Chains A and B, each alone.
Chain A
Amino acid sequence: MFTDYNSCAQTSSSVEDDFPTLVADSDETGGNVVFTFSPSNAGKVSIAPANSEARTDHDKNDIAKSLPVDELGHPQERELRALMTASLDGDGAAYHTLLKQLTGHLRAYYRHRFARIGHGPTEAEDLLQEVLIAVHTHRHTYDRSQPFTPWIHAIARYKFLDYLRRTKSSYKDLPITSAEELTAKSDMAAVESGLDLQRLMLKISSKARQVIQYVKLEGLSVSEAAVKCGMSESAVKVAVHRGLKALALHIRKESEA
């Protein structure tokens, strides 16, 4: 089943998780692969946890093979990439849509993995939020001339490995995955993360807290916030950026504890 999936994805770069032991559990790897290919319902489709769907995936794979695919072999690549390009140009609405869709994909990606290391969906949601902030503060590392799916997959994978390292979890039987697996399914059922934003906000500097409060939570424009704080606009932007980075650091520390 896993090979079926690979053959329909025409990518040359098969990203492998470099763990020492790769014990392929056929049930799990099969259950992993769920396609939601129609761009019109992308992001709205909610897929139940992998195990319950495991037996019906084969048919979906066959359908997926018969569909036209873009250069990456992944149906959502083109749409996500267009959203990302618009986001980098400053289109907030496109960015909102992009983050929503990524949230669905990342949630499915992490819940499955967290279940395997015996961690619950709350921790998965924490990591998901950490990744969203990382995507935000590192969005300048995406090269517009490159495909988008491998970029987000590399970040998701890096953050997962980092999580394993800092929580000292072991994950001996991580299956081989490819970049497309991340966007192959989506889970929109949110779980409240264990992190308390208001409490975490208290840990960052008061200046950063105030501008984030104004710009990001109360919806003021940068120039309005600048007037309110008596800072220049660029100082507000810098403070927001630094504040978000500091917040990401605290979220990371929180899940380490």
Chain B
Amino acid sequence: MNTDRLIDMLSAELEAVGNGRLGKTLILALVTGGAIAFALMLVTVGPRPNLESAARIEWIAVKLLFALSVIGTGALLLNRSMRPGLEDGTNWPLVFFPFLAALAVALAVLLGQPQAWAAMLRGATTISSIRCMLLIVFFAAIPMAAVIYALRRGAPTRLKLGGGIAGIVGGGIGAAAYAFNCTSDTIPFIAIWYSAAILICAVIGSQLGPRVLRW
């Protein structure tokens, strides 16, 4: 095939391309993934009892704050990872900032109450931590797929990194859905087990990345 011919072919009947298309795809994926994760939570484990009481609302707000900050920073970086040429101008480790902030607060809480360490880390029941991680990863699967779909619409050039951040964002959405069910109301529990679950999603994403994001 002659390259000049290819160029003629590509530039014939050229269509205009708007600027915001990619961003919209990403937002759509986040919203759809979030809605599906929430619906999945409702039909499987359901929200915790007495959701309306003020104290419980406050704890859900704390958990959501953490999850949303993970999703927010991740989504900003994701938006850059799908556009070639921004790799070097982007501060990728920023994606860990919400986790470090949560761990710092958790450390402060733990140091303030050294006698309650075990109880705070264990959560409401002995299996709380395991249940938390399994449910977050379970709720995260579909949002993660949605985010990867959006990423495939772009042109990610670092596939492991892109997949890993997709995992973190998907995990954040899973954590937000799980927050409505979670009965373990301590900061250290959130900082450790929520983070661990989201990071499991990140590892899965970074392993999937090179396979599913190639273009």
| B4 at the A interface (CB under 8 A) | yes
Chain A interface residue number, banded? 35 or more
Name the residue in B3, B22, B82, B214 with the highest tally of chain A Cβ atoms < 10 Å from its Cβ: B3
- Min CB–CB distance B78 → chain A (angstroms): 13
| A217 at the B interface (CB under 8 A) | yes
- Min CB–CB distance A234 → chain B (angstroms): 11
Using known A-B contacts A15-B88, A88-B17, A132-B7, determine if residue A141 contacts B1 with beta carbons closer than 8 Å.
no
- Min CB–CB distance A171 → chain B (angstroms): 17
Selected interface stretch from B8-16, B54-62, B104-112, B119-127: B8-16
Using known A-B contacts A96-B7, A103-B7, A140-B17, determine if residue A215 contacts B12 with beta carbons closer than 8 Å.
yes
> Which residues of A have CB within 8 Å of B3?
103, 125, 128-129, 132, 190, 193
Bitwise interface map of B from 80 to 106 toward A, beta carbon under 8 Å scored 1, else 0: 001111111100000000000000000
- Residue pair A134, B12 in contact (C-beta under 8 Å): no
Chain B contact residues: over half helix, strand or loop, or mixed? loop
Name the residue in B1, B15, B215 with the highest tally of chain A Cβ atoms < 10 Å from its Cβ: B1
**In the docked arrangement, what's the CA distance between A255 and B21, Å?**
31
- Residue pair A144, B16 in contact (C-beta under 8 Å): no
- Residue pair A195, B88 in contact (C-beta under 8 Å): no
> Which residues of A have CB within 8 Å of B16?
88-90
> Which residues of A have CB within 8 Å of B118?
none
Which residues of A come within 8 Å of B, CB atoms? 12-15, 87-93, 95-96, 99-100, 103, 125, 128-129, 132-134, 136, 138-144, 146-147, 149-155, 157-158, 162, 179, 190, 192-193, 195-197, 200, 212, 215-217, 219, 221-222, 237, 240, 244
Using known A-B contacts A132-B3, A196-B1, determine if residue A155 contacts B84 with beta carbons closer than 8 Å.
yes
CB contacts between A and B, total, < 8 Å: 124
Q: List 30 A-B contacts (CB under 8 A).
A: A15-B88, A88-B16, A92-B12, A92-B13, A96-B7, A96-B11, A100-B7, A132-B6, A133-B6, A134-B155, A136-B10, A138-B154, A138-B155, A139-B17, A140-B18, A146-B86, A150-B84, A150-B85, A150-B86, A154-B87, A190-B3, A192-B1, A193-B2, A196-B1, A197-B1, A216-B9, A216-B13, A219-B12, A221-B13, A240-B13
